[in-house]
Amino acid sequence: MKLTARQQQVLQYLHQHIQTHGLPPTLHELMAAFGWSSPAGAAKHLQALAARGLIGHSAGKARGIRLLPAGLEVLGGGVTFPGKTGIVATAMGAVHSAGAIDAAGSSGSSVRVGLEGASSAGKSAGPPERAVSLLDDVLNLPLVGRVAAGQPILAGARIERHLQVDRWLFRPQPDFLLRVQGDSMIDDGILDGDLVAGKATPEALHGQTVIARVDGGITIKRLWHRDGQLRLLPRNVRHRPIVPDPVEDFAIEGIYCGLLRRPD
């Protein structure tokens, strides 16, 4: 079975990672090892190996890649991996998980305001074993620009571009990206210029960080909901809370899932 030199290196890297760490690498780790800035580069080689029956993939798992018997046979040829000298930073750099932002109180009642139909469909369960697919591990997220007043964020938005990101970077799985403007959330590590990932939903819990539409603009704040009252709390003492009027142009557009930041 004839493989390209790079396919052989990828196969060897998978084997070495399993031998060293006891589990396969994630797509993001594979990208770092070979210096690929886009998930598409890693996915292309994984798909080629899967098409030859050398590896399999368990759907719904970040570390779902596994070597098949045919792949182990190919490795008997003594292919060597040149090491991690080619590691480079990915295009967007540091990621903060949603768990670092969410506040206590997730067991409270949820708030649902705004237009219907903004919630995203949950992911469907795939077969337990299938060939590696680009769609398994990569999200193609729209970077939302200006949003039309009175419209759901994905319906009334101007899409600047789409970015491919590793789906395992975020929890829950996001539907869109927004660029942060301002410093009202710096105490939660959300800085001016960051790309915030959001899951489209009109519902949120007290204490969650939400993406909301207020008076035609989009803001990200911590939701406070007690005794029927709503407030959007900044995470910077220099900014005041927002007390939205539900009868005006106000809606919860989504919940915060994490962020992407360009390295300095």
- Convert the pLDDT of each residue in 240-249 to its tens digit: 999 987 677 7
Q: Which of 138, 140, 157, 136 is nearest to 211 (CA)?
A: 157
Question: What is the DSSP code string of 95-124?
Answer: EEEGGGTPPS-TTS-EEE-S-TT-SPPPPP
Q: What is the pLDDT of residue 110?
A: 57
Catalytic residue among 38, 84, 184, 199: 184
77 or 92, greater pLDDT: 77
Query: Which pLDDT value is given to residue 123?
Result: 36
CB 86 within 8 A of CB 34: yes
The question of whether 184 is a catalytic residue gets the answer: yes
CA distances from 62 to 30, 31, 37, 76 (A): 12, 14, 18, 27
Q: CB under 8 Å, gap of 24 or more: what pairs does 121-127 form?
A: 123/60, 123/173, 125/59, 125/60, 126/59, 126/60, 127/59
pLDDT (tens digit, 9 = 90+) per residue, 102-153?
222 333 455 655 433 333 333 333 333 333 444 456 788 899 876 555 556 7
pLDDT by residue (tens digit) across 23-32? 888 888 888 8
Our answer to whether residue 221 is catalytic in this structure is: yes
Inform me whether the pLDDT recorded for 39 exceeds 50: yes
More confident residue, 253 or 21: 253
Domains of the chain: 5-75 (1.10.10.10), 95-260 (2.10.109.10)
* pLDDT per position as a tens digit, 173-202: 899 999 888 899 999 999 988 889 999 999
Answer yes or no: pTM beyond 0.95: no
Yes or no: say if 52 and 68 are a contact pair by the CB < 8 Å rule: no
pLDDT of residue 43: 84
What pLDDT was estimated at residue 247? Answer: 72
Residues 229-243 pLDDT 10s:
889 999 999 999 999
Contact predicate 25/165, CB 8 Å: no
75-82: long-range contacts at Cβ-Cβ below 8 A with a sequence spacing of 24 or more? 75/11, 75/12, 75/15, 79/8, 79/9, 79/11, 79/12, 80/12, 81/9, 81/12, 81/13, 81/16, 82/9
Per-residue pLDDT at 157: 66
State the average pLDDT for the chain. Answer: 73
| Helix 5-21 / helix 39-51 crossing angle, nearest 10 deg | 90
Q: What angle do CA 207, 211, 217 make, to 5 degrees?
A: 135
Q: Average pLDDT for residues 14-39, to the nearest whole number?
A: 83
CA-nearest of 97, 30, 96, 39 to 63 is: 30
Question: DSSP assignment, residue 242?
Answer: B
Active-site option among 97, 133, 199, 221: 221
- Residue 219's contacts (CB-CB under 8 Å, 6 or more residues apart) are 184, 211, 212, 213, 232, 242
Residue type for 262, please? R
pLDDT of residue 210: 94
pLDDT at 176: 92
CA angle 47, 52, 55 (to 5 degrees): 65
